[in-house]
């Protein structure tokens, strides 16, 4: 115990330095000592683990704490310590560790995260929160997908603990593990490093992520947003899967599943269904056409005045919705039908009485008009509260209740508009680092340099036009990155 403590407490030094070189050396030295310790004194560590954990601060001595904790938790919970206490320590560590230190012990950290992610030890609501916090500790920008993300999404969705996961899944992912052309960083502790540089499979902070897992993550995100009725975010998430890059005519079942949900969510969000974006894979598009047929026909009847037709369309394919697990969304769509019909009335009326709305709109749930004016009023009231409709319900002197539609866009004052623009500008500025990281990555790519050389060679040769070269140029123009390089 006495010989263990000084080693464990040796890092970080009393007066820490921000200098990457010194820090890197110190960490590496400490790591060597820890490794030795773990190898030679494993039994002691387990025995004295509880006292050591009390002694160490999870936020300051993160590496040492991790080492002790890892011995106690992996491969199974140690018996030398009360189970509850140990798990509490585990949770505390994961929400408070120092991300910079732990970059050096990726594999160990990852082991702990996976343990938590299995959902066996911690209650799910705690586990989700712990995982989400840990992910952001490692990568404060949250822009990079790791295998932990996928574990988190699965756990959160399956145990219905969505709320604590939001801080992670709300982030827009732009980086993925093991992109080519990231060379080993000089100092792993460099705080200016971009996540893809230090979160790699090699240093253990993430496991292998396959295309299917990436799509699964977005699909799960979409489904979580659906559960929270955040249709805009759900739509974006599903669209990411629907338009997932494909090559050589590749398609996936997950994409088709996402497409079905995407169609339904478009109805809820926009009141109509549009074709997938132009950059959707051709083979995928074809697949959507056949597999999503019944969904598209629901979407087609959704925009008509024919509520009964929509109802019939839905009832006819009840089995399909059941099979695809979309019954809930379909019910939402049916419920939203009348709301969209009411909303469309604002293209015709400025003021309209509630009873007229009742006359003019049908509910797709029953295929008939609503029974009472009060029901319509409640429906409209809900739409106004939900922010779907801008308007007010008023009452006349003669007792007629009516709805006044207000303009959906309000004129901003010059100052407000300037503010809004400023906010937009700063948001765009925040993208700068991402641009820089991307263009750096491209700039060091062998293939990219090769491409540039080929381009310039062709330009030199262009005085002797060659039809085959011209054709080549067209092929190159299709490059995904062609358009973006200049922006970086």
Please, which of residues 331-370 interact with another protein by CB under 8 A? Answer: 346-353, 356
Least CB distance to another protein at residue 254 (A): 9
What's the CA gap between 95 and 469, in Å, rounded? 57
End-to-end Cα, the chain, rounded Å = 55
What's the CA gap between 32 and 449, in Å, rounded? 39
Size of the site for another protein (CB under 8 A): 74
User: Per-residue x/- marks for another protein, 13-52, CB under 8 A?
Assistant: ----------------------------------------
Burial class of residue 117 in the structure, from the number of CB atoms within 10 Å of its CB (0-12 exposed, 13-18 middle, 19+ buried): buried
Which of the stretches 13-21, 41-49, 186-194, 203-211 binds another protein when contact is defined by CB under 8 A?
A: 203-211
Q: 194: which 2 tokens?
A: 């971009």
- Cα torsion 216, 222, 225, 229 to 10°: value is -140
Least CB distance to another protein at residue 410 (A): 7
| Selected binder of another protein within 22, 79, 118, 400 (CB under 8 A) | 400
Residue 58 or 196: the one with the smaller Cβ distance to another protein is 196
Distances (CA, A) of 266 to 263, 329, 479: 5, 11, 30
Least CB distance to another protein at residue 175 (A): 5
Least CB distance to another protein at residue 262 (A): 15
Told to check if 409 binds another protein by CB under 8 A, we report yes
Told to check if 436 binds another protein by CB under 8 A, we report no
Which of the stretches 102-110, 114-122, 126-134, 401-409 binds another protein when contact is defined by CB under 8 A?
A: 401-409
What's the CA gap between 376 and 358, in Å, rounded? 6
Mention every residue, 6+ apart, whose C-beta is less than 8 A from residue 100: 189, 191
Residue 140 or 250: the one with the smaller Cβ distance to another protein is 250
| Selected binder of another protein within 182, 225, 231, 337 (CB under 8 A) | 182
Which of the stretches 56-64, 277-285, 291-299, 335-343 binds another protein when contact is defined by CB under 8 A?
A: 277-285
Query: Cα 343 to chain center, whole Å?
Result: 31
Residue 3 or 290: the one with the smaller Cβ distance to another protein is 290
Which residues make beta-bridge pairs with 403? 352, 393
User: Taking CB under 8 A as the criterion, which residues in 140-179 touch another protein?
Assistant: 172-179
In the three-class reduction of DSSP (H, G, I as helix; E, B as strand; rest coil), residue 207 is classed as coil
Q: Does the bond joining 367 to the residue before it have cis omega, within 30 degrees of 0?
A: no
Residue (of 265, 276, 148, 285) closest to 217 by Cα position: 148
Residue 326 or 346: the one with the smaller Cβ distance to another protein is 346
Told to check if 85 binds another protein by CB under 8 A, we report no
Residue 348 or 385: the one with the smaller Cβ distance to another protein is 348
Q: 434: which 2 tokens?
A: 């991402």
- How long a stretch of residues is the chain? 488
Residue 89 or 441: the one with the smaller Cβ distance to another protein is 441
| Selected binder of another protein within 424, 455, 457, 472 (CB under 8 A) | 424
């Amino acid at each position: 115990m006495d010989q263990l403590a000084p080693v464990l407490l040796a890092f970080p030094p009393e007066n820490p330095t921000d200098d990457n070189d010194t820090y890197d050396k110190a960490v590496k030295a400490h790591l060597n000592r820890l490794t030795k310790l773990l190898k030679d004194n494993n039994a002691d560590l387990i025995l004295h683990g509880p006292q050591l954990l009390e002694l160490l601060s999870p936020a300051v001595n993160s590496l040492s704490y991790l080492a002790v904790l890892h011995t106690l938790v992996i491969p199974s919970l140690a018996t030398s310590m009360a189970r509850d206490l140990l798990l509490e320590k585990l949770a505390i560590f994961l929400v408070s560790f120092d991300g910079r230190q732990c970059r050096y012990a990726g594999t160990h950290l990852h082991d702990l995260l996976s343990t938590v992610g299995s959902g066996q030890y911690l209650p799910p609501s705690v586990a989700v929160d712990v995982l989400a916090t840990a992910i952001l500790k490692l990568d404060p920008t949250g822009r990079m997908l790791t295998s932990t993300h996928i574990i988190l999404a699965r756990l959160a969705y399956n145990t219905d603990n969505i709320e604590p996961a939001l801080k992670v899944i709300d982030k827009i992912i732009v980086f993925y593990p093991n992109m080519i052309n990231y060379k080993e960083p000089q100092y792993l502790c460099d705080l200016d490093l971009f996540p893809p540089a230090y979160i790699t499979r090699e240093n253990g902070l993430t496991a292998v992520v396959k295309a299917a897992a990436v799509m699964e993550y977005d699909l799960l995100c979409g489904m979580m947003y659906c559960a929270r009725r955040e249709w805009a975010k759900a739509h974006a998430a599903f669209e990411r899967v629907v338009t997932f890059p494909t090559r050589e005519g590749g398609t996936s079942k997950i994409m088709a599943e996402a497409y079905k949900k995407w169609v339904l969510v478009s109805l809820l969000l926009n009141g109509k269904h549009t074709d997938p974006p132009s950059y959707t894979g051709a083979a995928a598009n074809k697949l959507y056409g056949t597999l999503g047929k019944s969904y598209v026909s629901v979407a087609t009847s959704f925009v008509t005045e024919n509520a009964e037709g929509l109802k019939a369309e839905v009832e006819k394919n009840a089995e399909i919705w059941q099979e695809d697990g979309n019954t809930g969304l379909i019910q939402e769509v049916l419920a939203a039908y009348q709301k969209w019909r009411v909303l469309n009335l604002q293209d015709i009326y400025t003021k309209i009485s509630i009873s007229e709305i009742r006359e003019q709109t049908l509910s797709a749930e029953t295929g008939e008009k609503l029974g009472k004016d009060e029901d319509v009023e409640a429906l409209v009231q809900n739409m106004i509260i939900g922010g779907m409709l801008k308007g007010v319900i008023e009452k006349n002197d003669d007792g007629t209740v009516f709805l006044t539609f207000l303009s959906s866009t309000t004129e901003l004052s010059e100052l407000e508009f300037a503010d809004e623009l400023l906010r937009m500008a700063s948001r765009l500025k925040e993208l700068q680092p991402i641009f820089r990281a991307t263009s750096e990555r491209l700039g060091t790519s062998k293939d990219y340099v090769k491409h540039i050389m080929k381009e310039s060679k062709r330009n030199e040769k262009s005085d002797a036009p060659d039809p085959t070269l011209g054709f080549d140029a067209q092929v190159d123009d299709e490059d995904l990155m062609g358009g973006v390089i200049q922006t970086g």
